[in-house]
Structure 1
Amino acid sequence: MRAAVYSKTKSGKVLQIVDVERPVPKDNEVLIRTRAASVNPLDWRMKSPRPGVDVAGEVVAAGKHVTQFKPGDAVFGLCRGAFAEYACASEAELVPKPEHLTFEQAASIPIAGLTALQALRDRGHLQPRQSVLINGAAGGVGTFAVQIARSLGADVTGVCSTRNVEMVRSLGAAEVIDYTREDFTRNGRHYDVLLDNVGNHTFSELRRVLTPRGLCVLTGAPKQLWAALARMLKAFAWPPFLHQKFTFFIAKRNQDDLTTLCALMRTGAVTPVIDKRYQLSATADAIAYVEQGHARAKVVIGFE
């Protein structure tokens, strides 16, 4: 089968499409014929030679301990090596694909959708009628976050560039701030929850945005690893006597939460947004496009 594989060269890490053996599922896994996958920042930061986590496809084989799925089932969720014609995934990290979603839409959900849901609901404790600011509202996590926040009954403000203002507004943001024209940390407005997917402001600047007991959830991180680690340490070291809180967040793989996202899709509260589509042969181009940081919503890999 064809798969995207990182190999080391004198000039660095290079992604190539090569022929590899089809994987064999473990007892608690299924083998999926990949119909679509989506790109996440971790796909170029991770050390694994086989990138790709978000997957959607059809079950072709199941391990002997698998009880939830059988060959022929359409599923989506998390796996290892999603940028390949076949991939193995634990049944505990998959859910049935809603019939009204395409495979590409389903593949765009897992990492970004789980991050948005868990960051707002579990870390942000977002409640109806609270105000929430989403920095990076047009990105993969951001487009899900705007819709999920609205479904939770919050008053949503999104921050994005000029070309994305109308899209973010169409997703349910009551107000949209164009960061090329206005600095949201200096306009005097305050929010109960701030979801920061970008990491382009200092903690002092973010404090100005929060209400006296506001909470900032940090999901975005600068590209440099040292800067990301320093940002995380600052969040944990924030003085305990301050009522404003900062928390760094990484999504957890959770089948129940994937089911929750499916329910939101079925009711129409959340709809995946796709920016660009690439074929497996152009996976390196897709990853490079996302790495530049200007993708709108999700970028997906399709399979002919």
Structure 2
Amino acid sequence: MKAIVQHRYGGPETLEYADIDPPTLGPDDVLVRVRAAAVDAGVRHLMSGVPWLIRPVMGLRRPRQPVPGIDAAGVVESVGSAVTDLRPGDPVVGAVRGAYAELARARRQRWVRIPDGISFDTAAAIPTSGTTALLAVRDTGRVRPGQRVLVTGAGSGVGSYVVPLAVRAGARVTGMCRPEKADLVASLGAQEVVGYDQLTGSRDRWDVIIDIAGNTGLTGLRRLLTPRGTAVLVGGEGKGGLFAGFDRQLRALLVSPFVPEKLKPLTAVTRATDLAELLTLVQQGELRPVVDRTFGIGEVADALAYTWSGSAAGKVVITF
């Protein structure tokens, strides 16, 4: 089968379009012919091997999984002997390893059936970013009606889900983003849209801040919170290979017990139940995934570079 492969850590320049053997199928596995796959920050970390702390799990010198990509949507090709509730031809989506290939394999519990009326491109844009946003708003931030919520990176893949989910929870949302993404963030329901330089010296305070892959210091976040407010740290980007920005998450755990504000790192896990909930919201018209651009499988390097430049408004999807 055709796949995008990577034999050393690095950026888009390390990718090759090659023929590889298809995955073998275990009794609990489902093999899916991929129609669309998404790009997200997690792919960048897995490809670069940064932070270095992940390498004992992902491969010390090169990626243990040579095919990158996490989110995939497609059609069931075949199922293992223990799988009884899916059959060839069923449309499914899931967060899996090795999504940038013609065929992707994962355990049955990783796949969710795609409801009628949702395209493969749209479905592929949901798993990692959508479920991360749901956990940030519902579980970690515990957003409630009437609260003021600040979303940094509001025009990003995760941010484009956080904003409408927080609005749906009854919050008044301020979206922080690049100027070119302001119209999108407003269309997602944010009552206010501000730039990254507009809160310096601000006296505004928010009940919840959902900080997406940011590098704002913990002191800076605390200054923007109400006395008992909550900051949700969704990922982190920064210099240095060992932690690469994730040291802020660790410091938040250490500091939070000693300050009035709650500083909560988000542990994102893509659960099938959460993905199914989001798919239902999309089918019912209550949530709109934002797909900025689509790229062909031969343009994966361009898709990654575009996403990582920060220019993408919402999600980028690779089509097969």
Query: Counterpart amino acid of 2:292?
Result: D
TM-score normalised to structure 2 length: 0.89
Matched, 1:92 2:109: yes
Q: Return closer, same or farther for 1:126/1:195 CA change in 2, 3 Å cut-off.
A: same
Alignment check: 8 A CA contact 1:98 1:266 kept: yes
Displacement after TM superposition at 1:293 (Å): 2.5
Residue type at the aligned position of 2:31: L
- Quick one: structure 1 residues 12 and 270, their matched pair in 2 at CA, closer, same or farther if it must change by over 3 Å? closer
In 2, are the aligned partners of 1:185 and 1:208 still within 8 Å (CA)? no
Amino acid at match of 1:5: V
Q: What is the one-letter code of the residue matched to 1:218?
A: L
Match of residue 184 from structure 1 = 199
1:157 to 155, 174, 178: 174
**Which range is displaced more, 230-239 or 127-136?**
230-239
1:55 aligns with 2:72: yes
Q: How many equivalent pairs are there? A: 301
Partner of 2:210: 195
Q: Where does residue 152 of structure 2 map in the other structure? A: 135
Change (3 A) 1:34 1:239: closer
CA distance in 1, matches of 2:11, 2:128: 30
Q: What is aligned with 2:234?
A: 219
Change over 3 Å in CA distance of 1:33–1:231 after alignment to 2:
same
Query: What are the superposed Cα offsets for residues 174-209 of structure 1, whole Å, 9 maximum, x if unpaired?
Result: 111122xx4325321111110000313211111111
**Structure 2 residue 28 is matched with structure 1 residue 28:** yes
Please point out which of 112, 120, 123 is paired with 1:103: 120
Residue 84 of structure 1 deviates from its aligned partner by 0.5
Question: Structure 2: 5+ residue runs without aligned partners?
Answer: 47-62
CA distance in 1, matches of 2:160, 2:113: 22
Query: How far 1:154 moved relative to its partner?
Result: 1.3
Per the alignment, residue 205 of structure 1 pairs with 220
Q: Which residue of 1 aligns with 2:60?
A: none
Closer, same or farther in 2 for the Cα pair 1:68/1:151, shift >3 Å?
farther
Partner of 2:165: 148
d(CA) in 1 for partners of 2:267 and 2:11? 31
Amino acid at match of 1:286: A
Q: Which secondary structure state, in structure 2, belongs to the residue aligned with residue 228 of structure 1?
A: coil
Contact kept? 2:211, 2:231, Cα under 8 Å: yes
Aligned-partner SS, 1:8? coil
2:42 maps to which residue? 42
The structural deviation recorded for 1:9 is 9.0
Give the aligned partner of residue 16 of structure 2: 16
Q: The residue matched to 2:37 in structure 1 has which SS?
A: strand
Q: Which consecutive unaligned segments of at least 5 residues does structure 1 have?
A: none
Hey, what does 2:304 align to over in structure 1?
Answer: 287
**Contact 1:185 1:205 survives alignment (8 Å):** no
Q: Aligned partners of 1:290 and 1:96: how far apart in 2?
A: 27
Is the Cα–Cα contact under 8 Å of residues 4 and 50 in structure 1 kept in the other structure? yes
Is the Cα–Cα contact under 8 Å of residues 32 and 86 in structure 1 kept in the other structure?
A: yes
The structural deviation recorded for 1:223 is 4.3
Structure 1 residues 298 and 28 mapped into 2: Cα distance closer, same or farther (>3 Å)?
Answer: same
The Cα RMSD (Å) is 1.8
Cα displacement string for residues 33-58 of structure 1 (whole angstroms, at most 9, x for unaligned residues)? 10000011221321332111100000
Identity of aligned residues (%): 40
